[in-house]
Amino acid sequence: MIIDVVMPKMGESITEGTILEWKKQVGDSIAMDEILLEIGTDKVDSEIPSSAEGVIVEILAKPNDIIEVGKVIAKIDSGKKPSKSNDSFEKPDESLSADIPEIVDKVPKDHSNAMDNQKRKKFFSPVVMKIVAENQLSINELEKISGTGRGGRVTKKDILLYIDEKEKLEPVNLKNDSHDKVHKSVMIKSNDEEMSHMRQMISKHMVDSLSTSAHVHVVTDVDMSRIVEFVKLNEVSFKNQESYNLTYTPFVVQATVQALLEFPKMNASIEDTKIKYHRNVNIGLAVSIEEGLIVPSLSHCEEKNFLGICRSVNDIASRARQGKINPDELSGSTFSITNFGVFGVNVGTPIINQPNVGILGVGAIKKRPVVVEDLDGDLIGIKHMMVLSLGFDHRLIDGAEGSKFINSIKRKLETMPLEFNF
Q: What's residue 93's pLDDT?
A: 45
**Is 262 part of a structural domain of the chain?**
yes
**Is 191 part of a structural domain of the chain?**
no
- The confidence band for 81, taking pLDDT boundaries of 50, 70 and 90, is low
Domain match, 139 and 56 both? no
Q: Which of 253, 311, 247 is nearest to 282 (CA)?
A: 253
Most confident stretch, 8-22, 215-229, 324-338: 215-229
Domain match, 277 and 365 both? yes
Q: What's residue 269's pLDDT?
A: 96
Where a domain ends, among 141, 157, 186?
186
Domain match, 20 and 112 both? no
pLDDT at 108 over 50: no
pLDDT at 136 over 90: no
Q: Give the mean pLDDT of 87-92.
A: 41
Residues with a known catalytic role? 394, 398
Domain match, 238 and 122 both? no
Per the CB < 8 A criterion, the answer to whether 79 and 56 are in contact is: no
**Is 43 part of a structural domain of the chain?**
yes
**Is 193 part of a structural domain of the chain?**
no
- The confidence band for 116, taking pLDDT boundaries of 50, 70 and 90, is very low
- The confidence band for 101, taking pLDDT boundaries of 50, 70 and 90, is very low
* Alpha carbon of residue 347 to chain centroid: 22
- The confidence band for 110, taking pLDDT boundaries of 50, 70 and 90, is very low
SS3 state at 11: coil
SS3 state at 297: strand
Gap between the Cα atoms of 213 and 356, Å rounded: 9
pLDDT at 156 over 80: no
Domain match, 248 and 99 both? no
Q: Residue 357 belongs to what domain range?
A: 198-415
Domain match, 15 and 154 both? no
Q: Cβ atoms within 10 A of the Cβ of 25, count?
A: 8
Q: What are phi and psi of 67, to 5 degrees?
A: -120, 135
Where a domain ends, among 155, 186, 217?
186
Q: What's residue 285's pLDDT?
A: 95
- The confidence band for 146, taking pLDDT boundaries of 50, 70 and 90, is confident
* Alpha carbon of residue 349 to chain centroid: 21
Domain match, 104 and 124 both? yes
**Is 63 part of a structural domain of the chain?**
yes
Q: What's residue 105's pLDDT?
A: 43
297-329 pLDDT, tens digit each: 999 999 999 999 999 999 999 998 888 888 888
Q: How big is the CA angle at 398 (ends 393 and 401), to the nearest 5 degrees? A: 110
Q: What's residue 123's pLDDT?
A: 60
* Mean of all residue pLDDT scores within the chain: 82
**Is 421 part of a structural domain of the chain?**
no
In sequence order, the 6+-apart residues with CB closer than 8 A to the CB of 285 are 249, 253, 295, 296, 297, 298, 313, 316, 317, 336, 337
**Is 393 part of a structural domain of the chain?**
yes
Q: What's residue 114's pLDDT?
A: 39
pLDDT at 255 over 80: yes
Gap between the Cα atoms of 164 and 254, Å rounded: 41
pLDDT at 52 over 90: no
Domain match, 133 and 268 both? no
Q: What's residue 42's pLDDT?
A: 64
pLDDT at 348 over 70: yes
Where a domain ends, among 152, 186, 220?
186
259-275 pLDDT, tens digit each: 999 999 999 999 999 99
Which one has a higher pLDDT value, 63 or 125? 63
Gap between the Cα atoms of 269 and 356, Å rounded: 6
pLDDT at 242 over 70: yes
- The confidence band for 384, taking pLDDT boundaries of 50, 70 and 90, is very high
Q: Number of structural domains, the chain?
A: 3
Domain match, 45 and 92 both? no
Q: Give the mean pLDDT of 401-417.
A: 97
- The confidence band for 151, taking pLDDT boundaries of 50, 70 and 90, is low
DSSP state of 319: H
CATH code for the domain of 377: 3.30.559.10
Q: What's residue 337's pLDDT?
A: 97
Whole-structure pTM value: 0.63
pLDDT at 176 over 60: no
**Is 274 part of a structural domain of the chain?**
yes
Domain match, 69 and 131 both? no
**How many percent of the chain have pLDDT more than 90?**
44
- The confidence band for 84, taking pLDDT boundaries of 50, 70 and 90, is very low
Domain match, 301 and 346 both? yes
Domain match, 11 and 31 both? yes
